[in-house]
Amino acid sequence: MTSTHPEVPAPESPEAESPEAESPEAGTPDPLDQYGFADGGRPEGLEQLCAVACAATGAVAASIELAGPRARTAAVHGAPEGLPVTGEVELTASTGVRLGVLRLFGGEVGDSGGRATHLEALAQAVVALCELEAARAQVFDLEDEVARSAEAVAQASGQIVHDLNNPLAGVAMCLEIARDQVPDGELLASLLDRASGSADRMKRMVVDLMQYGQQPSAGVTDLAVEVPELLSQFSPLLDETVEVLTPLPVVAASPGDVRTVLTALWENAVKFAPDDRALSIEVAAEEVPTGWRIRVTDNGRGFEPDEATRIFAPTVRLDKRIPGMGLGLATVQRIVAAAGGRAGAEGSPDAGATVWFELPAPVPEANQ
């Protein structure tokens, strides 16, 4: 990467190079498309990072200029026109693809106050955001994998988790460091908080993917012990919300898998909580010929009855306004099926929903 350098004349405008003049023929693939720059787009958060670059280095303006046949200004903060370029750093993805350059305008020249170090860190954050966008595109390609096999989705999700973790950690770290330098109440502080919120949502997506891709394991779980312990981890969020109506049984599934299933169902109920009343969740068990059926019932928004099967498919989200990847119920079904059980749901709009899962009873040990 190239760090800060002596003052050189700035171009008349960072958008002086006409995108139309250098655009490739229609339909020609561009390596930058996979990073969120197709059709004039850009990853969320680049403008915020330009603002952070100015705050961290004392520059008057900052821009992110793309490389390649669709060279253009992807993001800018401040007014760089007429100002000298006082620093720049190359932006290169981990795959070796050259993304472009992060450029500073105005302010001091040189490395006073660790300017070059800040610029390098910000460049890493920009690259990380771009790689997150590439990984996000892979996530939504999972729907194509679903058409082939659920196992392929699980394998793909494991790879995506691996691809997401490192760049996401880099983004979160850079945002945290930058936020510590900005007083509360400033516009930049608000922008950084919003960017951190986006990073937190991506962390939740990674957890969802990780849970969906995990391999179920054998074991035995006493729900009468596991449910109270799990509820204590949600305290105080669900203290007055979850009520256990019946004695809970022992089932043939590992404690870790049972925790994943119950957590997914409770979190799903919280996401779809009613707007006009307090959320309530009831947990009950009943014996069935194949073992035990555990019901989790809420008084939330519910769903159309004809969606009862589709909601268990990976990446299905009935309400796109609700954050998430649509893997919660798919994870429930996958874990329960691996343990020899099944899952289902009942509901109606604005009248709550019941999601149930069945697990076998433990096989008694043979008499010695």
Residues 89 and 203 in one domain: yes
Quote the pLDDT of residue 30. 81
Q: Residue 233: what pLDDT?
A: 85
Which pLDDT value is given to residue 63? 96
Q: How far apart are CA 56 and CA 119, in angstroms?
A: 8
The last residue of a domain, from among 213, 231, 246: 213
Q: Residue 132 falls within a domain, yes or no?
A: yes
Q: Looking at the domain assignment, is residue 4 inside a domain?
A: no
Region label for 255, one of left (φ > 0), alpha (ψ between -120 and 50) or beta (otherwise): alpha
Rounded Cα distance, 250 and 287, in Å? 11
**pLDDT value at position 283?**
97
Task: Indicate whether 162 and 280 sit together in one domain.
Answer: no
pLDDT averaged per 10 residues in sequence order, the chain, 368 residues = 45 42 53 84 85 88 90 92 93 90 88 76 85 72 53 60 66 76 77 73 65 74 94 82 95 92 91 90 96 96 92 80 76 90 94 95 69
Q: What is the CATH number of the domain that holds 297?
A: 3.30.565.10
- Identify whether 364 is part of a domain: no
Residue 106: predicted pLDDT: 93
Q: What's the pLDDT score for residue 212?
A: 63
- The answer to whether 62 and 102 have CB atoms below 8 angstroms apart is yes
Identify the domain containing residue 258 by its residue range.
221-359
| pLDDT reported for residue 155 | 62
Q: Are residues 190 and 49 in the same domain?
A: yes
168, part of any domain = yes
**Whole-number Å distance between alpha carbons of 53 and 182:** 12
* Domain total in the chain: 2
Whether 179 and 307 map to the same domain: the answer is: no
Shared domain check, 347 and 226: yes
Res 213: pLDDT:
61
pLDDT, position 281: 95
Residues 243, 201: one domain? no
pLDDT of residue 297: 97
Q: What is the pLDDT of residue 347?
A: 93
Can you give the pTM of this predicted structure?
Answer: 0.52
